[in-house]
Structure 1
Amino acid sequence: MTFRRLALKNVQGNWHQYIAYFLSSTFSVMIFFVFAAFIYHPGVVNGHIDAASKIRSGLVDCEYLIIIFSFFFVLYSNSAFLKSRKKEFGLLSLFGMTHRQIRRLVFYENTVIALAAIIAGIAFGTLFSKLFFMALSELLDVTNPIPFAIVTKAIIITAAGFFVLFQVITLFTLSRVGRSQIIDLLKAARKPKKVPVFSPWLIALSIVCLLAGYGLALITTRLTFILLTLPILFLVVVGTYFLFTQSSIALFRKLQKTHALYYKRTNMLTVSQMVFKLKDNARVLFMVSILSAVILTASGTFYIYYQSGQQQLLDYFPQTFSIEEEGLNKHDLIQPNKVKEILNNDGVSVNYQLEMVNIPITYHNGQLNEDSEAVLIAQRDYNSQAARMKGIEPINVNEGHAMYIYPFSGDFNESIQEGDVISASAGDLPLSLKLEGQRNKTIVNLIGMELFVLNDAQFDQVAAKLPDHDKSVYYGYELNDWESLNATVKKIHDQIPQKLRGGFHERVSQYLDGKQLSALTLFIGIFISFLFFIASGSMIYFKLFTELQEDQAQYKSLRRIGMTIKELRKITSLQIGIIFFVPFAVGVIHASFAYVILGNVMAVSVWQYGMVVIGIVFLMQLIYFLLTRRAYMNKITSIQ
């Protein structure tokens, strides 16, 4: 039998150990190829597909990420697989095979797997590229859909790139093969294990790090996000590492001393084995928990960004479009009748129309130590518009006072305190305003413009002292079904003289651009998150099958002393479930505090979106667990 034939037989005989590695590698190749097929698509390269350039650079970055991910993932899976074959290598050495010949055998095996994964990945990528192009065409809302094409350059780059990648990884792993003596290889699985120990000081360190990281997450705001992100990551990662390497062992050692629980049915066997399994798998569980946190946080961020984009746009643009005319009874931008004519001709239904007189002012901003521009409005106008909007309560301003309205939601600016007095000027008229407090949400489309709400009587007094040219009028229009009225809004925009278009604000075009960008971000994020999910599940799968021979020996011993298959299935299911779901639970906790940070930074409620993401990932984890348990139980019970 030739070495090539022997390598092929080994791959066929160990398919249960290779299958997760093969499928994960195939998936990586497929995703890389699908992205490459779009990047090098003739229509994209030649600029014939509208809006495709917006995501081409993003997909190129994803390609680099897939390559980096594939390198470390395949390197780990190869190392885990070789570790599980120590006894096999010992037998081959005992039969006279040299270290060089063993390395040659492993090289052929890895080459077979690499070629099979590349061929399968490109084949599936070709099948799914049409679906991928259709989805992108829908997300980009292009007039000419992206046609299906077999992109030769993408095939060559994918095949050559991944073949080189797999071969480089193979060379890395070959250096570990053949170093041990034959007797060590044969007895690797039978070496007695020392009772795991733990350090109370390191347990305390893990608790302190996690509590400190979570505490910082709770107080993180937009202003402190950049400053606190790295310390939070450092504390959580360190705390998680010692949580699995120290605290988990301490917990199960404590369970061993809890006799009422420990000596109940099969708990003694389950707990005693888990003490050793957690010690052996601590680093893997640590990495899986971090990967789970990354998957949940990244997926949640993409999904929240996608779902909350429209609400944020509505906060910044309360009206579909608005026109601000300088001076009273002047219509330099556009005549109201012209606006009405365009809306009527297009059959547009108007939800409401807002007309509001305001007074531009300049005031001294103590926080910035410079003069800033703002607008005075009457209490009646503010309350009238607030009644149309959700989440805004009416206000009652005392005479001689003002309420400060910061234009953005959240905590961008909290410098205004009740009782502060600011000096301002409206035209040539000096003003002194005593503030009753601050609210953070605008009622008009004046982007970034701060508002001061005055008592009606005081506003009328100030307005009476100013000439008409020192005032302005705000016209706001909220349209029904505004998402589909981009053409109508553009007609109105085009009627306004070029030099005066700074007084026109609308949200429809920004909504369409934002929807496209957020949908593409979510689309790409799902692919990348799923790739990381496959990695985390496969790490557990590889680790389980690394210990397969040892568990098979224990299974045979337990069967001899009378333990039933049902009891063994229960023990094995519980142990595999702990290894699968404990890291996931830790990842959920980490991600929950990440959602707190995300909610503070984005000034939106993220929990309803976060729970959807957690539920979906949990369902995927459950399916992965059931498939892994079935494969593991079938293999472990095949030895009688």
Structure 2
Amino acid sequence: MTLFSLARKNIVRNLSQYFLYIASMIFSIIIYFTFVTLKYSDTIMEKTESSQNMQSLMSAAAVILVFFVAIFIAYSNSFFMKKRKKEVALYALLGVRDRQIGFMLFFENLLLGLVSLVVGIVLGFLCSKGFMTILIYLMGYDAIAPFTFSGSAALNTAIVFLLIFLVTSFQGYRLIYQFKLIDLFHASKKGEAVPRPSMGIAILGILLIGSGYWLALQDPFTSKVWEEIGFVMTVLIILTTVIVGTFLLFHSVTGFVLTLIKKNEKWLWKGLHIVTVSQLLYRIRGNARTLTVIAVLSATTVTAGGAVYGLYYNTNDQVLNADPNTFMYRQTDANLDSKVSAILPDAKYDEAIEALSVTFNAKELNDLDGSGQRIYTVIDEETYNRLAAIQGKEVLRVMDDHAVILDIGFDERFSPEYKGKTITTETNEAIIFQGYKTQTVLNAGTAGITVVVSRDTFQALQKAGETLTYRAIGMDKASVDISREISKEIPEEALFSSAPQDFQNSLESVGSLLFIGSFLGLVFLAATGSIIYFKVLTEAEEDKSQYNMLHKMGVSSMDMRKSIAMQVVVIFFVPLAAGLCHSAVALKAFSSLLMMDLAKPVMIWMMAYTVIYGLYYILTVASYNRIITRNNKTEG
């Protein structure tokens, strides 16, 4: 029997153990192949107006994916090697040379990788149409992608993953030279010392996380702490304190809590609680590293995905805020309106807007350069209220010699304190701001920042400004194609703005980010769930004798299943809870930074992540129970 055939038989015999590992690798290869295929896709390049940016995004995503997958495969491989140390020792005891054992492990891992690579590329090709259609849909286009097989993408994927598999296979080859025979036989019996929880370390962990949260929730633009420390250094401090604090949380805080629980004898002696707590306490030191990794990965995945989904979710509101009219332009030609009307279908409303472009001396405002001048579009309150009634906005009442400014980009951290401030024209007409609004009735891309005044004040300002006429068009449904036809007829100086086109541009950029973020998040989630799965099943193999002893003592299968479920739920959901808390703080800071409400999309994203993560929990508990049940039947 050759080493290669022995490696193949080992894989077949242990296929149930390798299944999730292989599935995670295949999924990673599918996603990588998809990203590279999209990078070379003619369909995407033809459809999108930013194909160059798309290629850059896909390339960056592919690099991130490769880096993460390499770490995941190496991490998973180390679990399998630990699990098989006794088997390796048996080969050595039977007289098989170290070099031959090393080559067997090398071939075994390489064969797993090659099978995963072939299956991943084939499934990636079969799924490419669906993935491309999803991307096109997220970017706001209505099209069905064709089946495409990219030889360049397949070659790229094969080279990258073969290199990864060669490195991890060499890791397996080196295993036999790193341990003595006796160490290999007793590897699975090496437990971990029961930790002595320290109140001081527990408090330090909580303080570190708290300080990281406090720094993250400070406004980086106005916080003196951020200003003193510096942006990059502050971010590094936040990451360090939260990660170290998380490790201490699992290492000492969890151990401290479990020790306190163990003192509650009334609860402890019910069912198998004593076994559950003792098992968790016994392994808590080793699990602390794994739980920290899971918490950080979960936080990263949820934060990145929640932020991008939040932007995507709010895209329509952002565009409507900036472009309340479907189309708007400045009338620069007497024949321009007739050309546009010939293209337009029936409109909901079509309004001619009389406005002024006035240069103001605005030295009282605190956001100015040295000139102290600002050019604003001025309309009267009757015009504003007419458009506001059509658009479903509240009416305004403006006093004489006063104004309300419509600034959709208002941010109290940077914008002027408008209320009570005075601006003057070159003819010394003074206007006092009675307030501001963060919504407008004119498209910001065409009119810019708009000032609303009374009718009498508007007439007084006419001698100080240039009279303009805008055309504002509202439609229930308007396509990008109509927008493009209209834009061909309108000169650049007319400052044509289109809500459909702006919405399409936003979807194109944010939709591609959402696609990449979602699939990278799924890979991270698959790897995260797999890491815990491997860890727990390794422990299940070590616990078989203990549960068999309980079985012989008459403990019911139901009680053992409850004990297993309670142990696994801590391993799964404690790091998930920590990760969700970390991401909630990060997303709160992100929403404050962008002045955007992300609560609803973030909750949806967190729920979706938790549901998929929960499926891994169910699968792990079922596998754990199957190992224990099978062993109890075998051993009696």
How far does the alpha carbon of each residue in 1:497-516 deviate from its partner, in whole angstroms, 9 at most, with x for none? Answer: 45x233x3222222222223
The secondary structure found in structure 2 opposite 1:638 is: helix
- Tell me the distance in 2 between the aligned counterparts of 1:323 and 1:444: 10
Match for 2:611 among 608, 619, 623?
Answer: 619
Residue 210 of structure 1 pairs with residue 178 of structure 2: no
Provide the secondary structure at the position in 2 that maps to 1:347: coil
Q: Corresponding residue for 2:29? A: 29
Alignment of structure 1 residues 150-189 onto 2, 5 Å: 150-189=149-188
Does 1:576 find its partner at 2:568?
yes
Shift of 1:314: 0.8
Question: 2-side partners of 1:417 and 1:135: how far apart?
Answer: 45
Corresponding residue number in structure 2 for 1:629: 621
Range 557-566 or range 512-521, more displaced: 512-521
Q: How far is 1:396 from its partner?
A: 4.2
Please state how far the C-alpha of 1:523 moved relative to its aligned partner: 2.0
Is 245-254 or 375-384 further displaced after alignment?
375-384
Structure 1 SS opposite 2:375? strand
Matches for 1:498-577 after TM superposition, within 5 Å: 498=492, 500-502=493-495, 504-577=496-569
Q: Which residue of 2 aligns with 1:327?
A: none
Give me the identity figure in percent. Answer: 27
Q: CA deviation at 1:354?
A: 5.8
Hey, what's the Cα distance between the residues in 1 that align with 2:403 and 2:587? 35
Query: 2:355·2:377 contact (CA, 8 Å) conserved in 1?
Result: no
CA distance, structure 2, for counterparts of residue 567 and residue 50 of structure 1: 58
Which structure 2 residues correspond to residues 213-292 of structure 1 after superposition, within 5 A? Answer: 213-220=212-219, 229-292=235-298
CA distance in 1, matches of 2:391, 2:141: 34
SS in 1 for 2:197: coil
Distance 2:384 2:174 in 1: 74
Structure 2 contact 83–188 (Cα < 8 Å) conserved: no
2:550 partner amino acid: L
Shift, 1:182, TM fit: 2.3
| Cα separation, partners in 2 of 1:408 and 1:163, compared to 1, 3 Å | same
Please tell me whether residue 407 in structure 1 is matched to residue 408 in structure 2.
yes
Partner in structure 2 of residue 450 of structure 1: 449
CA 506–171 in structure 1, closer or farther in 2 if over 3 Å, else same: same
Question: Given residue 403 of structure 1, which amino acid in structure 2 is its aligned partner?
Answer: V
1:600 to 566, 584, 592: 592
Q: TM-score, normalised on structure 1?
A: 0.88
2:564/2:624 contact within 8 Å kept: no
Cα displacement (A) at 1:48:
6.6
Report the AA paired with residue 380 of structure 2. A
Distance 1:193 1:148, change over 3 A: closer
| Paired letter, 1:585 | A
C-alpha deviations, 1:160-200, integer Å up to 9, x for none? 33122201122234334342222222223334542212332
Give CA-to-partner distance per residue, 1:277-310, whole Å, 9 cap, x none.
Answer: 3322111111111111122122222222222111
Q: Which moved more, 1:183-192 or 1:379-388?
A: 379-388
* Rounded Cα–Cα distance in structure 2 between residues aligned with 1:63 and 1:526: 13
Distance 1:139 1:265, change over 3 A: closer
- Whether the 8 Å CA contact 1:423–1:432 is kept in 2: the answer is yes
Q: 2:310 aligns with which of 266, 281, 304?
A: 304
Shift, 1:37, TM fit: 3.1
How far 1:140 moved relative to its partner? 6.1
For residues 335 and 212 of structure 2, what CA distance do their matches in structure 1 show? 58
Question: 1:311 Cα shift?
Answer: 1.0
**Structure 1 509/624 Cα, relative in aligned 2: closer, same or farther at 3 Å?**
same
Checking the alignment, whether the CA contact within 8 Å between 1:407 and 1:440 is kept in structure 2 is yes
**Aligned partners of 2:402 and 2:631: how far apart in 1?**
85
1:479 is aligned to 475
Alpha-carbon contact 1:319-1:478 (below 8 Å) kept = yes
1: CA distance between counterparts of 2:48 and 2:380? 46
How many angstroms does 1:443 deviate by? 2.8
Mark the CA change 1:585 to 1:351 in structure 2 (over 3 Å): closer, same or farther: farther
CA distance in 1: counterparts of 2:36 and 2:332, whole angstroms: 51
Matches within 5 A, 1:85-234: 85-136=84-135, 138=137, 147-191=146-190, 193-220=192-219, 229-234=235-240
Aligned to 1:495: 489
Deviation at 1:614, TM superposition (A): 1.5
Code of the aligned partner of 1:377: I
1:332 and 1:39, CA in 2 relative to 1: closer, same or farther beyond 3 A? closer
Mapped partners of 1:314, 1:27: distance in 2: 38
Give the aligned length: 619
Q: 1:435 aligns with which of 414, 433, 436?
A: 433
Post-superposition CA distance 1:365-418 (Å, at most 9, x none):
43333333223433444444444556x654444444433432325546343154
Change in CA separation of 1:424 and 1:33 when aligned onto 2, cut-off 3 Å: same
Q: Structure 1's 97 and 437: CA in aligned 2 closer, same or farther, altered over 3 A?
A: same
Q: Deviations over 1:495-553 (max 9, x none)?
A: 3345x233x32222222222233332222222111110111001101111222331112
Q: Report the secondary structure of 2:506's partner residue.
A: helix
Return closer, same or farther for 1:244/1:352 CA change in 2, 3 Å cut-off. farther
Matched letter for residue 373 of structure 1: I
The runs of 5 or more residues in structure 1 that have no matched partner are: 325-330
What is residue 72 of structure 1 aligned with on the other side?
A: 71
* 2:348–2:473 Cα contact (<8 Å) kept: yes
Question: Which secondary structure state, in structure 2, belongs to the residue aligned with residue 471 of structure 1?
Answer: strand
- Structure 2 CA distance for aligned equivalents of residues 456 and 50 of structure 1: 46
Contact 2:133 2:143 in 1 (8 A): no
Can you give the 5+ residue segments of structure 2 that lack an aligned partner in the other structure?
none
Residue equivalent to 1:348: 346
2:408 alignment partner AA:
P
Deviation at 1:561, TM superposition (A): 2.1
Partners of 1:122 and 1:192 in 2: how far apart? 41
* 1:387–1:394 CA contact under 8 A, matched in 2: yes
- Equivalent position of 2:329 in the other structure: 323
Alignment partners' CA distance in 1, 2:334 and 2:204? 67
Displacement of 1:243 in angstroms is 1.4
Q: How much has 1:113 moved relative to structure 2?
A: 0.8
In structure 2, what is the Cα distance between the partners aligned to 1:24 and 1:373? 58
Secondary structure in structure 1 of the residue aligned to 2:518? helix
Q: Does 1:357 align with 2:355?
A: yes
Question: What CA distance in whole angstroms lies between the structure 1 residues aligned with 2:419 and 2:143?
Answer: 57
The change in CA–CA distance for 1:202 and 1:441 in structure 2 (over 3 A counts) is farther
Q: Using a 3 Å threshold, how does the CA distance of structure 1 residues 10 and 163 change in structure 2: closer, same or farther?
A: same
- Normalised to the residue count of structure 2, the TM-score between the two structures is 0.89
- Which residues in structure 2 correspond to 1:377-388 (within 5 Å)? 377-388=379-390
Q: Deviations over 1:256-287 (max 9, x none)?
A: 12233323332222112111233221111111
Greater alpha carbon shift after TM alignment, 76-85 vs 172-181: 172-181
Task: Tell me by how many angstroms 1:316 deviates.
Answer: 1.0
Give the corresponding residue for 1:328.
none
Cα RMSD for the two superposed structures:
3.0
CA distance in 1, matches of 2:353, 2:43: 46
Aligned partner of 1:373 in structure 2 is 375
Deviations 1:306-343 (A, max 9, x none): 2211110111111112233xxxxxx533558526743x
